[in-house]
Amino acid sequence: RADEMNDVLKSLVITDSAGKVTGIRYDSNIPLDRKLNEFPFRIDNGAPLSAVLDQLKGARLEMEFGTQKTAGEIVSGRIIPADKDRAERDQLTLLTDSGEFRSVDLSAASSLRFTDPVLQTQFRDYLSALTGSRSRDKRSIYIDSSESGSRQVRAEYIMPMPAWKSSYRLVFDETGRQPTLEGWAVVDNTTGEDWTNVRMSLISGKPISFISQLYDPKYIRRETAELPEDQAVVPVIHSGSVALPAAPPQPPASQRAKAENTVSPFFTRNGGVIAGAPSAGLTLPEQLSTVDQAGPAAEIADLFEYSIRNPVTVKKNESAMLPFLQQKIAARKVIIYSVSDKTNPLSAAELTNNSGKTLDGGPITVYDGGAYAGEALVETMKKSDKRFISYGVDPGTRIATNLDSRTDSVREIHAHDGLLISRAALIQKKTYSIRNIDARAKTLIIEHPVRQGYKLIGTAQPIETAPDVYRFEMNLAANASMNFPVTEENVYDSQTAVSSLTPDALLVYVRNKSLTDAARRQLEQISDLKTQLVNNDAEKRRIDAEVQNITRDEDRGRQNISSLSSVSGQQQVVQEYARKLAEQETRIAQLRQRQTELETARASLQTQLNTLIGKLNF
């Protein structure tokens, strides 16, 4: 088909048993618009015939009106609007051989024909192009070979098909030990042809595939170049582990209990749970599906192939389920707690792929002791890989969480380039309070989220680490409760410019026990200088305030002298004000001198401080 040609041209392999392939030819797929642009006319949807013929002014046309014939060159075509006497008319104006302009109604003509055979052929080709664009028939491919004798030629290519799908059944018996995994492949025949006794292989993997437009002619887009003056202005899926501990951790003695193989709860039709026995009305046959032996399976590079042993027949537009696996698999029942805002963990199983085959990802329906237990989703598992699947809720176990955080004291202090870098830690402890109300022991897996910047500390160690969670395992005794703490720390650095710290803030760092004696002496020297600067600035502010007060008193004294000088009998008061002004001027001079001394001292202290900060390094 036309929509398969891109994949055919991308993947076609030709094997000629006695000759050489010199080339491949095939029906082209020129875009319709580009095909139609080659014609001197255009037939738009709903366009009247007069509008089409109007594009061919000058073309010679022969028309028949009953027994009469008319011939001439096309002058124009137009639509005559309807009036009260006549309906809308499709009219054509011709220049006849006698030189007359004659208007004719196209609706009255019984036939018309172009005398130019080229133009007549162009109309046929135009209509054929329109017909071909609507066709989805198969395209023809022609193989050119250097030999002409009879021989076998093999053509292989890929074509787009619906991906096959995996569906599994995990069947536990009454003992719950080593269940059987049954795999079915769902295939869909959308080729439009019957598959009759075909050999089929199913490939598991993730090869990269894409659509490359090889069938449609490729036209390079060209820029328009003109002279400037000519231009106008989305079930829980448990991920596989990425890290395992060096040695399996031993749980504390208080957590140790002997695990018992028990039957998981069973779900009734209305969603209720009956523990310990299959639910009446949902009992299923305990035996497995009676299926033919699966065909051979083998690795192909990074892929895995399942070969269906017997030929397969699938009618067109039908689908089929084909068994490709039925064998014992290593598994154990557990419960998994993943979501902290839920009370109950999930009934689950740990599967280890000891089948020797790659198991394609898909849904798993779990049967336990002859009853339906739930459903799960699993990612693709390579051989010897391990996955957890969760398929139901365990109401017999309740879990609550409590989070406690504290900030640890400064652990390290470093300094360079005028910056003080302190390292501290935020410690968080999450406690899982667990209660098993069932009269049977259980194995619990806690999935604790992996958080960026945090690492585990303390005695709790995971059995494995996935990209997004740590997994901790513990044994729950029957009718028992326990607490399980997980402690993490986030060590972080903070930077502070030494120049911005106050003497008191520096003393906090000076008293830190993690400092060396040499580093402590450096910070003490800087703190002493900053204290001297603070005292210097305080004294200068006091002197500035005193100067301002004396200046205001002088202004009032001068005003009094000015007002009393013209008053008789006030000379002694005026002299007293004058004497006080003289004393104030002397005091201001002394204060100005002290201001200068303080400014000089501050500059010296600041230079010493900058030098010490610049040399600060530990």
pLDDT digit string, tens, across residues 435-478: 999 999 999 999 999 999 999 998 889 999 998 999 999 999 99
Of 43-57, 287-301, 420-434, 507-521, give the lowest mean pLDDT range. 287-301
Lowest-confidence segment of 257-266, 379-388, 415-424, 555-564 by average pLDDT: 257-266
Sign of CA dihedral 571, 577, 581, 584: positive
Question: CB 442: neighbour CB atoms within 10 A?
Answer: 25
pLDDT interval class at 423 (50, 70, 90): confident
Q: Is the pLDDT of residue 280 over 80?
A: no
Give the pLDDT band of residue 259 (cuts 50, 70, 90). very low
Q: What are phi and psi of 103, to 5 degrees?
A: -100, 130
pLDDT for the residue 230: 56
Percent of the chain clearing pLDDT 70 (strictly above)? 88
SS3 letters for 132-143?
Answer: HHHCCCCCCEEE
Q: Looking at per-residue confidence, does 157 or 282 come out higher?
A: 157
pLDDT attached to residue 473: 94
Per-residue pLDDT reduced to its tens digit, 467-518:
899 999 999 999 999 999 999 999 988 888 888 888 888 888 888 887 888 8
pLDDT of residue 463: 92
Q: How far is CA 153 from CA 19, 108, 146, in A?
A: 9, 59, 12
The residues, any chain, with a CB within 8 Å of residue 125's CB and separated by 6 or more, are 39
Lowest mean pLDDT, pick from 264-278, 325-339, 484-498: 264-278
pLDDT of residue 278: 36
pTM: 0.60
d(Cα 262, Cα 478) in Å, to the nearest integer? Answer: 12
CA 597 to chain centre: 67
Average pLDDT over the chain reads 82
Is 250's pLDDT higher than 80? no
* Token duo for residue 507: 């003393």
d(CA 520, CA 532): 18
Q: Find the mean pLDDT for residues 41-55.
A: 87
Looking at residue 75, what DSSP letter applies?
E
Average pLDDT on 119-123 reads: 89
Confidence of residue 73 (pLDDT cuts 50, 70, 90): very high
- pLDDT at residue number 244: 63
Assess whether pLDDT exceeds 50 at residue 312: yes
Q: Are strands 362-368 and 111-114 parallel, antiparallel or unpaired?
A: unpaired
Q: How confident is the model at residue 430 (pLDDT cuts 50, 70, 90)?
A: very high
Q: Do 577 and 553 contact (CB within 8 A), yes or no? A: no
Which two three-digit tokens encode residue 418?
């005028």
pLDDT at 245: 65
pLDDT tens for 364-373 read 999 888 788 8
3-class SS shares of the chain: helix, strand, coil, % to 5: 25, 35, 40
DSSP strands (E only) in 338-468: 346-352, 362-368, 371-378, 386-393, 397-407, 412-416, 419-436, 442-449, 455-457, 464-465
Q: Which residues, 6 or more positions from 590, have their beta carbon under 8 angstroms from its beta carbon?
A: none
Please report, rounded to a whole number, the percentage of residues in the chain having pLDDT higher than 90. 25
Residue 376 has pLDDT above 60, yes or no: yes
Task: Tell me which of 216 and 109 has the higher pLDDT.
Answer: 109
Residues 378 and 170 sit within 8 Å (Cβ to Cβ): no
Residue of higher predicted confidence among 261 and 398: 398
